[in-house]
Structure 1
Protein backbone atom coordinates (compact mmCIF):
# COMPACT_ATOMS: atom_id res chain seq x y z
CA UNK A 1 0.00 0.00 0.00
CA UNK A 2 1.37 3.38 -0.95
CA UNK A 3 1.27 6.35 1.35
CA UNK A 4 -1.73 8.47 0.63
CA UNK A 5 -3.91 5.55 -0.58
CA UNK A 6 -6.45 5.32 2.16
CA UNK A 7 -5.97 3.37 5.41
CA UNK A 8 -3.33 4.41 7.87
CA UNK A 9 -3.63 8.08 7.00
CA UNK A 10 -0.01 8.96 6.60
CA UNK A 11 1.07 12.07 4.86
CA UNK A 12 3.91 10.83 2.75
CA UNK A 13 5.83 11.76 -0.32
CA UNK A 14 4.94 10.22 -3.67
CA UNK A 15 7.95 7.85 -3.68
CA UNK A 16 7.47 6.54 -0.14
CA UNK A 17 6.12 3.09 0.58
CA UNK A 18 4.71 1.62 3.74
CA UNK A 19 6.26 -1.52 5.08
CA UNK A 20 3.85 -4.12 6.40
CA UNK A 21 4.73 -5.74 9.68
CA UNK A 22 5.02 -4.84 13.32
CA UNK A 23 6.80 -1.60 12.50
CA UNK A 24 4.79 0.23 9.85
CA UNK A 25 7.33 2.92 9.18
CA UNK A 26 7.81 4.79 5.95
CA UNK A 27 10.85 3.75 3.97
CA UNK A 28 12.40 6.39 1.76
CA UNK A 29 13.05 5.27 -1.76
CA UNK A 30 16.67 4.16 -2.24
CA UNK A 31 17.40 3.82 1.45
CA UNK A 32 16.80 0.70 3.46
CA UNK A 33 15.26 0.74 6.92
CA UNK A 34 18.47 -0.63 8.50
CA UNK A 35 20.69 2.20 7.27
CA UNK A 36 18.95 4.93 9.22
CA UNK A 37 19.22 7.22 6.23
CA UNK A 38 23.02 7.36 6.34
CA UNK A 39 24.93 7.10 3.11
CA UNK A 40 27.84 4.68 2.77
CA UNK A 41 26.48 2.27 5.36
CA UNK A 42 26.28 -0.57 2.83
CA UNK A 43 29.98 -0.19 2.07
CA UNK A 44 30.77 -0.24 5.80
CA UNK A 45 28.73 -3.42 6.29
CA UNK A 46 30.48 -5.08 3.37
CA UNK A 47 33.87 -4.12 4.81
CA UNK A 48 32.95 -5.54 8.23
CA UNK A 49 31.73 -8.76 6.61
CA UNK A 50 35.04 -9.01 4.75
CA UNK A 51 36.99 -8.45 7.96
CA UNK A 52 34.91 -11.10 9.72
CA UNK A 53 35.65 -13.56 6.91
CA UNK A 54 39.40 -12.81 7.11
CA UNK A 55 39.34 -13.37 10.88
CA UNK A 56 37.43 -16.63 10.47
CA UNK A 57 39.85 -17.98 7.86
CA UNK A 58 42.90 -16.83 9.83
CA UNK A 59 41.59 -18.40 13.03
CA UNK A 60 40.83 -21.66 11.26
CA UNK A 61 44.30 -21.83 9.71
CA UNK A 62 46.03 -21.04 13.01
CA UNK A 63 43.96 -23.71 14.76
CA UNK A 64 44.78 -26.29 12.08
CA UNK A 65 48.49 -25.46 12.36
CA UNK A 66 48.30 -25.88 16.14
CA UNK A 67 46.46 -29.20 15.94
CA UNK A 68 48.92 -30.52 13.35
CA UNK A 69 51.77 -29.48 15.65
CA UNK A 70 50.15 -31.30 18.57
CA UNK A 71 49.78 -34.44 16.43
CA UNK A 72 53.40 -34.14 15.29
CA UNK A 73 54.63 -33.89 18.88
CA UNK A 74 52.45 -36.74 20.15
CA UNK A 75 53.40 -39.10 17.31
CA UNK A 76 57.13 -38.56 17.58
CA UNK A 77 57.49 -36.47 14.45
CA UNK A 78 56.19 -38.81 11.76
CA UNK A 79 53.15 -36.60 11.14
CA UNK A 80 54.88 -34.13 8.83
CA UNK A 81 51.83 -32.65 7.15
CA UNK A 82 52.55 -29.18 8.43
CA UNK A 83 56.17 -28.17 8.60
CA UNK A 84 55.17 -24.70 9.77
CA UNK A 85 54.84 -25.89 13.35
CA UNK A 86 58.42 -27.11 13.32
CA UNK A 87 59.57 -23.68 12.17
CA UNK A 88 57.57 -22.01 14.92
CA UNK A 89 58.61 -24.23 17.81
CA UNK A 90 62.06 -25.68 17.02
CA UNK A 91 63.82 -22.44 16.10
CA UNK A 92 62.70 -20.32 19.04
CA UNK A 93 65.15 -20.65 21.93
CA UNK A 94 62.68 -20.26 24.80
CA UNK A 95 60.37 -22.94 23.37
CA UNK A 96 63.00 -25.71 23.39
CA UNK A 97 61.50 -28.67 25.23
CA UNK A 98 58.08 -27.01 25.33
CA UNK A 99 56.93 -27.69 21.77
CA UNK A 100 53.75 -29.51 22.81
CA UNK A 101 52.65 -26.65 25.05
CA UNK A 102 53.44 -24.09 22.35
CA UNK A 103 51.29 -25.99 19.84
CA UNK A 104 48.43 -26.20 22.34
CA UNK A 105 48.63 -22.42 22.78
CA UNK A 106 48.69 -21.94 18.99
CA UNK A 107 45.57 -24.12 18.57
CA UNK A 108 43.80 -22.27 21.40
CA UNK A 109 44.74 -18.93 19.83
CA UNK A 110 43.15 -20.03 16.56
CA UNK A 111 39.98 -20.97 18.42
CA UNK A 112 39.92 -17.59 20.19
CA UNK A 113 40.33 -15.76 16.87
CA UNK A 114 37.36 -17.66 15.43
CA UNK A 115 35.19 -16.87 18.48
CA UNK A 116 36.14 -13.18 18.31
CA UNK A 117 35.26 -13.07 14.61
CA UNK A 118 31.75 -14.30 15.45
CA UNK A 119 31.30 -11.60 18.07
CA UNK A 120 32.14 -8.71 15.74
CA UNK A 121 28.91 -6.77 15.24
CA UNK A 122 27.86 -5.61 11.82
Structure 2
Protein backbone atom coordinates (compact mmCIF):
# COMPACT_ATOMS: atom_id res chain seq x y z
CA UNK A 1 0.00 0.00 0.00
CA UNK A 2 1.41 3.36 -1.02
CA UNK A 3 1.57 6.22 1.48
CA UNK A 4 -0.54 8.40 -0.82
CA UNK A 5 -3.32 5.79 -0.73
CA UNK A 6 -3.13 5.59 3.05
CA UNK A 7 -3.17 9.36 3.38
CA UNK A 8 -6.27 9.73 1.21
CA UNK A 9 -8.00 7.02 3.23
CA UNK A 10 -7.09 7.91 6.82
CA UNK A 11 -5.61 11.41 6.59
CA UNK A 12 -2.05 12.69 6.65
CA UNK A 13 -1.60 12.88 10.43
CA UNK A 14 -2.79 9.30 11.00
CA UNK A 15 -0.67 8.13 8.06
CA UNK A 16 2.47 9.76 9.46
CA UNK A 17 1.80 8.13 12.82
CA UNK A 18 1.12 4.71 11.27
CA UNK A 19 4.24 4.83 9.09
CA UNK A 20 6.39 5.95 12.02
CA UNK A 21 5.19 3.19 14.31
CA UNK A 22 4.40 0.32 11.97
CA UNK A 23 6.40 1.07 8.81
CA UNK A 24 8.19 -1.88 7.26
CA UNK A 25 5.93 -4.44 8.92
CA UNK A 26 2.75 -6.27 8.14
CA UNK A 27 -0.30 -5.40 10.19
CA UNK A 28 -3.59 -7.24 10.65
CA UNK A 29 -6.59 -4.92 10.35
CA UNK A 30 -9.49 -6.16 12.48
CA UNK A 31 -13.14 -5.69 11.52
CA UNK A 32 -13.85 -3.92 14.82
CA UNK A 33 -11.82 -1.07 16.25
CA UNK A 34 -9.36 -2.29 18.84
CA UNK A 35 -7.04 -0.32 21.11
CA UNK A 36 -4.11 -1.57 19.03
CA UNK A 37 -5.63 -0.29 15.78
CA UNK A 38 -6.59 2.98 17.42
CA UNK A 39 -3.04 3.38 18.71
CA UNK A 40 -1.58 2.56 15.28
CA UNK A 41 -3.65 5.42 13.82
CA UNK A 42 -2.43 7.87 16.44
CA UNK A 43 -5.63 7.76 18.46
CA UNK A 44 -7.71 9.00 15.53
CA UNK A 45 -10.94 6.98 15.79
CA UNK A 46 -12.23 8.17 12.39
CA UNK A 47 -8.99 7.07 10.70
CA UNK A 48 -9.11 3.68 12.44
CA UNK A 49 -12.75 3.25 11.37
CA UNK A 50 -11.96 4.09 7.73
CA UNK A 51 -8.93 1.77 7.70
CA UNK A 52 -10.99 -1.03 9.21
CA UNK A 53 -13.87 -0.50 6.79
CA UNK A 54 -11.54 -0.65 3.80
CA UNK A 55 -9.20 -3.46 4.91
CA UNK A 56 -11.12 -5.45 7.53
CA UNK A 57 -9.75 -8.92 8.25
CA UNK A 58 -6.78 -8.39 5.96
CA UNK A 59 -3.07 -8.10 6.49
CA UNK A 60 -1.63 -4.92 5.02
CA UNK A 61 2.03 -4.21 4.40
CA UNK A 62 2.78 -0.82 5.94
CA UNK A 63 5.57 0.85 3.94
CA UNK A 64 8.45 2.71 5.54
CA UNK A 65 7.91 5.53 3.02
CA UNK A 66 10.85 7.57 4.28
CA UNK A 67 10.95 9.90 1.28
CA UNK A 68 7.22 10.59 1.60
CA UNK A 69 7.56 11.27 5.33
CA UNK A 70 10.55 13.58 4.74
CA UNK A 71 8.55 15.57 2.20
CA UNK A 72 5.44 15.86 4.41
CA UNK A 73 7.50 16.91 7.42
CA UNK A 74 9.43 19.48 5.38
CA UNK A 75 6.16 20.88 4.01
CA UNK A 76 4.98 21.27 7.61
CA UNK A 77 8.02 23.38 8.41
CA UNK A 78 10.26 20.83 10.15
CA UNK A 79 13.98 21.54 9.93
CA UNK A 80 16.38 18.98 8.50
CA UNK A 81 17.68 18.34 12.01
CA UNK A 82 14.15 17.74 13.34
CA UNK A 83 13.46 15.32 10.50
CA UNK A 84 16.67 13.39 11.10
CA UNK A 85 15.79 13.07 14.76
CA UNK A 86 12.18 12.04 14.19
CA UNK A 87 12.98 9.48 11.48
CA UNK A 88 16.34 8.29 12.83
CA UNK A 89 18.07 8.92 9.51
CA UNK A 90 21.13 10.93 8.54
CA UNK A 91 21.11 14.51 7.27
CA UNK A 92 22.49 13.20 4.00
CA UNK A 93 19.45 10.91 3.65
CA UNK A 94 17.11 13.85 4.21
CA UNK A 95 18.90 16.06 1.69
CA UNK A 96 18.95 13.19 -0.82
CA UNK A 97 15.19 12.61 -0.43
CA UNK A 98 14.53 16.32 -0.90
CA UNK A 99 16.74 16.46 -3.98
CA UNK A 100 15.18 13.34 -5.51
CA UNK A 101 11.73 14.75 -4.95
CA UNK A 102 12.72 18.03 -6.59
CA UNK A 103 14.22 16.12 -9.54
CA UNK A 104 10.99 14.16 -9.99
CA UNK A 105 8.84 17.27 -9.97
CA UNK A 106 11.00 19.06 -12.57
CA UNK A 107 11.54 16.03 -14.81
CA UNK A 108 7.81 15.76 -15.57
CA UNK A 109 6.07 19.13 -15.21
CA UNK A 110 2.70 17.58 -16.13
CA UNK A 111 2.81 15.43 -12.99
CA UNK A 112 3.86 18.34 -10.80
CA UNK A 113 0.81 20.39 -11.82
Scaled to the shorter chain, the TM-score interval is under 0.3
Relative to its length, the structure with more helix (as a share) is 2
Indicate the structure (1 or 2) with the bigger Cα radius of gyration.
1
Relative to its length, the structure with more strand (as a share) is 2
TM-score (norm 1): 0.24
